Amino acid sequence: MAEGMDVAAGPAEPAWWQRGVVYQVYPRSFQDSNGDGVGDLRGIVQRLDYLQWLGVDAVWISPFYPSPMRDFGYDVTDHQAVDRVYGSLVDFDRIVAEAHARGIRVIVDYIPNHTSDGHPWFVASRAARHNRKRDWYVWRDPAPGGGPPNNWRSAFGGSAWEWDEPTGQYYLHTFLREQPDLNWRNPAVELEMLDVLRFWLGRGADGVRVDAIQVVMKDAEFRDNPPNPDYREGIDDPYDALLRVHSADRPEIHGLIARMRELVEQYGDRVLIGEIYNEVDRLMAYYGEGGRGVHFPYNFQLIKLPWDARTIDAAVRRYESLLPPGAWPNWVLGNHDRHRVASRVGAAQARVAAMLLFTLRGTPTLYYGDEIGMHDVEIPPDRVQDPWEKNLPGRGLGRDPERTPMQWSAEPAAGFTTGEPWLPVAPDFAANNVLAQRADPASMLSLHRALMDLRRREPALHVGGWAPVDADGPVLAYLRTHGDTRFLVALNLSAEPASLDFDGGGEVVLGTLPDGEARRVGGGAIELRGDEGVIVRLDGR
């Protein structure tokens, strides 16, 4: 084994969002309190005891604002209210109070790029060319020869431009046509939308996750995007046919993010997280000059990369080496937009993936249900909800499979609702649920709880240094260190036995396999069984 140098150490006084674990709740699917089949804010309150027991430090709640639900809440008609299906502002205040009483922070979703086409601002904007709100959205004349103003595409399929016959112009929509993009070059939009941040922070939100932050600013000249030379027609998502150099990741975004950061900091110890799907080197700019950007841009590599030890090892090393000084890392295994980790890597490897998530350096974000190994659920065509699947059916782009109801118990509808759930419950819910797994020390849930507990107890794991360890084949290994404490994490990303050359010795404090703990390892090599990951406390030097 060749031990690398400590390439990265943690801050002396870590903030809560550095020490802690974030848990993402998709509110439609977490807990229904009134039997309408859709989860709600009171349901979240009912489950806070569970989240406290599990050991998470913060809960990020996906949008619950009034919305026609074309994109299930990412199409907002009022940024400062709660949709009736989810409850009321009183319920939100209760979440904050009850979460805080349990030591859990609350992060809300903030959607700056677009509104619903039903938002009063857009209704005014499209009413007439001379309307005072016209310039709050992005309106353009047709191209000289007719047709859309440029070649930009919508993330959900088709052109990003929608023709508005009555006023004779196109409006821009990076996502659905029911989600028109706001024009942030208009100072009135910025003023109004920054007030939205003040509203939620003032109400006690501990942070915001900023939706689609890299598309908020567009090229001032609306130039065509160039073709993507690597695009495979008929195989890849049509959105990727063009390189989005003029419609996303513009340098102009960073000034705006700095102003958001400044505002957030006026409220004290709050966090600003950016949702950015981009190459890792492009992510780094979002930390901002002098650290004036987001506290961290979400790092989705573990979602996107093939489940291969050498690939992930290289990605972790590269990410760590690219982080600007003082920039805080983070890792994500799943969210409401991507297939479930248990379906991507399989149930046995999902346990290894959990160990990876909670032992890498930086804030982990856990998607609801991943802690019990929920997998994608096949959705019958007549129950499809997601507009992406409706626009581009059969390509595996639909997001319903990873948004199915949380499996709490073996009761009907898994204890999620007393009514008909908005999406089908996974067929295996009677065996695979929180209640059953709580009682089983070998369960995925028990593993998650043990991982979070160890991470909380050991500074080496929540703020400590990280260093790569050379390994071969399916083994991924690294060190986490703090003072004299050193942990070796060794993960076998395959179902076959594998070994890691290792001179030192230590004791396994946690393993992904039920009987893997409390054994001594080392003295030349560490033998790992198939699907085994271990956290080894190394002997003192």
Q: In what order do the strands lie in the sheet with 465-469?
A: 465-469, 475-482, 485-492, 533-538, 498-511, 520-528
Least Å distance between CB 27 and ligand GLC? 13
Return the axis-axis angle of helices 347-359 and 444-457, rounded to nearest 10°. Answer: 10
Please, which residue, 74 or 487, has the CB nearer to ligand GLC? 74
Q: In what order do the strands lie in the sheet with 169-172?
A: 139-140, 169-172, 161-164
Helix (H, G, I), strand (E, B) or coil at 321: helix
Least Å distance between CB 64 and ligand GLC? 14
Using alpha carbons, select from 306, 324, 327 the residue that is nearest to residue 315.
306
Where in 246-275 is the site for ligand GLC (CB under 6 A)?
Answer: 275
Within 8 A by CB and 6+ apart from 227, the residues are 241, 242, 243
Rounded to 5 degrees, φ, ψ at 108 are -110, 160
Question: What sign has the CA pseudo-torsion 250, 256, 258, 260?
Answer: negative
Please, which residue, 109 or 531, has the CB nearer to ligand GLC? 109
For the question of residue 308 being annotated catalytic, the response is no
Please, which residue, 239 or 328, has the CB nearer to ligand GLC? 239
Tell me the two tokens of residue 399: 């997001």
Where in 354-383 is the site for ligand GLC (CB under 6 A)?
Answer: none
Catalytic residue among 40, 275, 320, 458: 275
Least Å distance between CB 245 and ligand GLC? 19
Least Å distance between CB 403 and ligand GLC? 10
- The amino acid at residue 502 is F
Question: To which residue do tokens 């419609």 refer?
Answer: 247
Distance of CA 221 to the CA centre of its chain: 32
Please, which residue, 239 or 331, has the CB nearer to ligand GLC? 239
Least Å distance between CB 204 and ligand GLC? 23
**How far apart are the C-alpha atoms of 130 and 392, rounded to whole Å?**
36
From candidates 98, 135, 164, 337, binder to ligand GLC by CB under 6 A: 337
Residue nearest to ligand GLC (CB): 74
DSSP letters for 193-212: HHHHHHHHHHTT--EEEETT
Using alpha carbons, select from 309, 322, 362 the residue that is nearest to residue 480.
362
Least Å distance between CB 410 and ligand GLC? 30
Least Å distance between CB 213 and ligand GLC? 10
Q: Is 523 left (phi over 0), alpha (psi -120 to 50) or beta?
A: left
Please, which residue, 370 or 532, has the CB nearer to ligand GLC? 370
CA angle 14, 486, 512 (to 5 degrees): 95
Least Å distance between CB 179 and ligand GLC? 6
Helix (H, G, I), strand (E, B) or coil at 187: helix
* Contact call for residues 103 and 57 (beta carbons, < 8 A): yes
Where in 157-216 is the site for ligand GLC (CB under 6 A)?
Answer: 175, 211-212
From candidates 32, 71, 313, 389, binder to ligand GLC by CB under 6 A: 71
From candidates 74, 170, 367, 502, binder to ligand GLC by CB under 6 A: 74
Using alpha carbons, select from 333, 344, 331, 445 the residue that is nearest to residue 401.
344
122 near ligand GLC, rule: CB under 6 A: no
For the question of residue 275 being annotated catalytic, the response is yes
**How far apart are the C-alpha atoms of 147 and 422, rounded to whole Å?**
39
Residues in binding contact with ligand GLC, number by CB under 6 A: 9
Torsion angle, CA of 211/217/218/220, rounded to 10 degrees? 170
Catalytic residue among 32, 117, 181, 211: 211
Chain contacts with ligand GLC (rule: CB under 6 A): 71, 74, 111, 175, 211-212, 275, 336-337
Q: Which residues are catalytic?
A: 211, 275
